[in-house]
Amino acid sequence: MLLFVIFCPIVAAILIMAGAPARKTALVASMLTLAITLFLLGSLQGWQRDYQYVTSFSISPEWHLSFTTGLDGLSMVMVLLAAIVTLAAVWFTGKIDRYENAFYGCLLLISGGAIGAFASIDLFFFYAFHELALIPTFLLIGIWGSGNKTAAAWKITIYLAVGSFILLLGLILLYQSVPVASRSFDIRALKAAAGQISPDAQRHIYLLLLIGFGILISLFPFHTWAPEAYASAPAPAAMLHAGVLKKFGLYGLLRLAIPLLPEGARHWTDVLVALLLGNIIYVGLVTIAQKRLDWMLGYSSVMHMGYVFLGIASANILGVTGATALMFAHGLSIALLFAIAGEIRKRTGTLLLDDLGGLAKVMPFAGLAFGLGAFAAIGLPGFANFAGEIMILFGAFKNGWEMERFHLFQIATVLGLWGVVISTVYMLRAYRKTFMGTLAERWKDLIDLRPILRAPVALLVGALLCYGFFPQSFVRIITPAFRPYLSANK
Partner 1 sequence: MITAPLLEIAVLILGMVILMFEAFATKIDRRLLAFAGILGLTAVLVASFFVARNSFTNQTAGFWSFYTADSLSIFFKQFALLTTILVLIMMIDYAPVVENSVAAGKLRSVLGEFFAVPIFTCAGLMYMASAIDFIFIFVSLELVTISLYVLVSFTRHNPATLEAGAKYLVLSALSTAFLVYGITWLFGVTGQTNLQRITESLANTGIDRTAALFGMVLVLVALGFKIAAVPFQIWVPDVYQGAPTPVTAYLSVGSKAAGFVVLLRVLRPFLMLPETHRLLVLIAILTLIYGNLAALPQGNLKRLLAYSSIAHAGYLLIGVVCLDGRAVIFYLTAYLLMTLLSFAVLVIVSQQTGDRISDFDGLGKRSPFLAFAMLIAMVSLAGVPFTAGFLGKFFIFYAAVAQRQIALLVVGVITVGCGFYYYLKVVRAMYWQSTDKIDKIPISALSRFAMSALILAIIGLGVYPQPILDALKR
Binding part of the chain for partner 1, among 37-45, 133-141, 399-407, 478-486 by CB under 8 A, reads 133-141
Strand partners, 60: 65
User: 56 phi and psi, to 5 degrees?
Assistant: -145, 135
Helical (H) or strand (E) element with 65: strand 65-71
Residue 127 or residue 467: which is nearer to partner 1 going by CB? 127
For residue 142, state whether it binds partner 1 (rule: CB under 8 A).
yes
| Binder of partner 1 out of 27, 96, 172, 420 (CB under 8 A) | 172
DSSP state of 112: H
Residue 138 or residue 295: which is nearer to partner 1 going by CB? 138
CB 160 within 8 A of CB 216: yes
Closest distance to partner 1 from the beta carbon of 291 (Å): 27
Distances (CA, A) of 470 to 41, 281, 325, 386, 388: 15, 30, 11, 12, 12
Closest distance to partner 1 from the beta carbon of 129 (Å): 8
Q: What angle do CA 4, 6, 9 make, to 5 degrees?
A: 90
Closest distance to partner 1 from the beta carbon of 89 (Å): 21
Closest distance to partner 1 from the beta carbon of 223 (Å): 17
| Binder of partner 1 out of 53, 99, 469, 485 (CB under 8 A) | 99
Overall size of the chain counted in residues: 490
For residue 117, state whether it binds partner 1 (rule: CB under 8 A).
no
Q: Long-range CB contacts (< 8 A, 24+ apart) of 195-198?
A: 197/260, 197/261
Strand partners, 269: none
Binding part of the chain for partner 1, among 31-39, 87-95, 134-142, 383-391 by CB under 8 A, reads 134-142
Residue 218 or residue 279: which is nearer to partner 1 going by CB? 218
Task: Give the footprint of partner 1 on residues 193-232 (CB under 8 A).
Answer: none
Residue 125 or residue 467: which is nearer to partner 1 going by CB? 125
| Binder of partner 1 out of 14, 31, 32, 135 (CB under 8 A) | 135
Please tell me the distance from the alpha carbon of residue 193 to that of residue 187, in angstroms, as a whole number. Answer: 10
**CA count, 13 A, side-chain hemisphere, 307:** 36
Secondary structure class of 93 (helix, strand, coil) = coil
C-alpha 225: how far from its chain's center? 15
For residue 15, state whether it binds partner 1 (rule: CB under 8 A).
no
| Binder of partner 1 out of 28, 162, 420, 439 (CB under 8 A) | 162
Please tell me the distance from the alpha carbon of residue 464 to that of residue 383, in angstroms, as a whole number. Answer: 6
Q: Which residues are at the interface with partner 1 (CB under 8 A)?
A: 59-60, 62, 99, 102, 127-129, 131-132, 134-135, 138-139, 142-143, 150, 153-154, 157-158, 161-162, 165-166, 168-169, 172-173, 176
